[in-house]
Structure 1
């Protein structure tokens, strides 16, 4: 399941000046880029096509994207736009559910709540400077006697308008959909979406395809932890990441068992490993300090002589 970012259309209603809007859009695109670093399958949903959007009253996005300095940003926004965008999940629930902030209807934030996504806003007003938004949700529900009644309640919706807001949502974003992976083959097929900091030798596909069922959950957890450790790794200051799980090298006498043909055809030693239980499970990898990634070489039982 991909991660959906839902544009809060109310953040495009301020009376900001052009210079402020340009600064806000630069920050907004950087926010989306950070989400993209977490997951390759992140999509941006907007209530109307991006090309028709007004960033503020009287300031259409066409005016913003016409500037040469914004062309790369515009291309990135188009990349993030969902390939089959739905104008709003709420469009199919007219009269049954509605979300409001104050007196204003908010379809973008409502959509984020309904599909368990993340609402994103242009940082043009102080009210968007928060990690959670609390709209009022009105919905029709059926009572036990078959009658309909209107239920109104405040709900919490994930939200970000600045990169620092993403910290509290990172774990959720990286794990979204991972629980639905039921087989090792499905995990292999989805590896680039869930673990962008990890690369895998081709031989690992067979390791995952034949993985014992009781190791699937531990392996998902290990890979997620390794990816998170690498994402936070300052390669200029530290020789290794601050590991989220126990990672150790093999002893000198066992290093000779850890040679694998790397992605470039060179045989290298992959002696760093993490453990999974039950039994003596091992996940072997090597660090690539030059780009802050790791290459996974082996997943299975402890390598024997």
Structure 2
């Protein structure tokens, strides 16, 4: 295990008081044998390291996540923060390194209408030692994990996002980014970097992205809402955006095909809202 590992929680109580099954607490599990006690102490030690838990503002109360019909806030935290759910092997539903999870959350369509959307996703999961082997490469990817603040994202942009260009104004966006959204923004920048680096064009002549990317509505484009002063001093529309939150968090950008780059103009709330 990495010496920098932390246990980021969605519960306010300490680990021994967690209920890990019906009428079955973590302290009962720890008291079953010496191995469990040792592992329980390790988890308690990790829980003492910052960040102690996901901030309340980092979770969307209108979103629902469930695995085999069992709801869990940890699934939302894992999805938003590109993490891994850790559980105890208390049943066959928790024996896989990837958990099938149903996500139900409100999403704003291209027409601005908010609808409740359902999606089946798979989240990293570990309840057995051999599950860690499945995620070994991800666990060892320490470089990106160290980009734990908006300032670090800005300062590491050339190294970690060589196919992305940033307008100078984005520095302020990132340095002032709420800590709860650093990992979701980082996750979407990584996916955009990967898509632009690959530069794969589909049959419709569109770049193939690795996360949902939306074209701004004509009315907002014509209204100049997504206009920014570009690097060459010209005003241009940055009408593509990805969403790093289920709500109004946006990364606005435009493609620069001649150099195969994406140029980012805004990281923050919905423009004009």
- Higher Cα Rg, which structure: 1
Query: Which structure has more helix as a fraction of its residues?
Result: 1
Q: Quickly name the TM-score band, shorter chain normalised.
A: 0.3 to 0.5
Structure with the bigger RCO (C-alpha within 8 Å, sep 6+) is 1
